[in-house]
A and B are shown apart, each in its own frame.
Chain A
Amino acid sequence: EAGVAQSPRYKIIEKRQSVAFWCNPISGHATLYWYQQILGQGPKLLIQFQNNGVVDDSQLPKDRFSAERLKGVDSTLKIQPAKLEDSAVYLCASSHFREQYFGPGTRLTVT
Chain B
Amino acid sequence: AQKITQTQPGMFVQEKEAVTLDCTYDTSDQSYGLFWYKQPSSGEMIFLIYQGSYDEQNATEGRYSLNFQKARKSANLVISASQLGDSAMYFCAMRERYGGSQGNLIFGKGTKLSVKP
Enumerate chain A interface residues (CB-CB to B < 8 A): 30-31, 33, 40-45, 48, 50, 55-56, 89, 91, 93, 95-105, 107
Write 22 A-B pairs (CB below 8 A) sorted by A numbering.
A30-B101, A41-B110, A42-B93, A42-B107, A42-B108, A43-B45, A43-B91, A45-B105, A45-B106, A48-B104, A56-B104, A89-B43, A98-B33, A98-B50, A98-B101, A99-B50, A100-B47, A101-B47, A102-B45, A102-B46, A103-B44, A104-B44
User: B78-110: contact bitstring with A at CB < 8 Å (1 yes, 0 no)?
Assistant: 000000000000010100000011101111111
A/B pair count, beta carbons within 8 Å: 55
Flag whether B28 is at the interface (Cβ < 8 A): no
- Which residues 19-53 in B have Cβ within 8 Å of A in the complex? 33, 35, 37, 42-47, 50
Min CB distance B96 to A, Å, is 12
- State whether B104 touches A42 (Cβ < 8 A): no
Given the interface pairs A91-B45, A93-B45, A104-B44, the reply to whether A44 lies near B107 with Cβ below 8 Å is yes
Nearest A residue (CB) for B108? A42
Report which of B42, B44, B50, B110 forms a contact with A42, defined as CB distance below 8 A. Answer: B110
- State whether A55 touches B43 (Cβ < 8 A): no
Enumerate chain B interface residues (CB-CB to A < 8 A): 4, 33, 35, 37, 42-47, 50, 91, 93, 100-102, 104-110
Min CB distance B11 to A, Å, is 16
Q: Give Cα A10–Cα B42 distance, bound, in whole angstroms.
A: 12
Min CB distance A35 to B, Å, is 8
- State whether A104 touches B42 (Cβ < 8 A): yes
- State whether A104 touches B105 (Cβ < 8 A): no
Q: Give Cα A101–Cα B37 distance, bound, in whole angstroms.
A: 10
- State whether A96 touches B101 (Cβ < 8 A): yes
- State whether A99 touches B35 (Cβ < 8 A): yes
Nearest B residue (CB) for A91? B45
Min CB distance B98 to A, Å, is 10
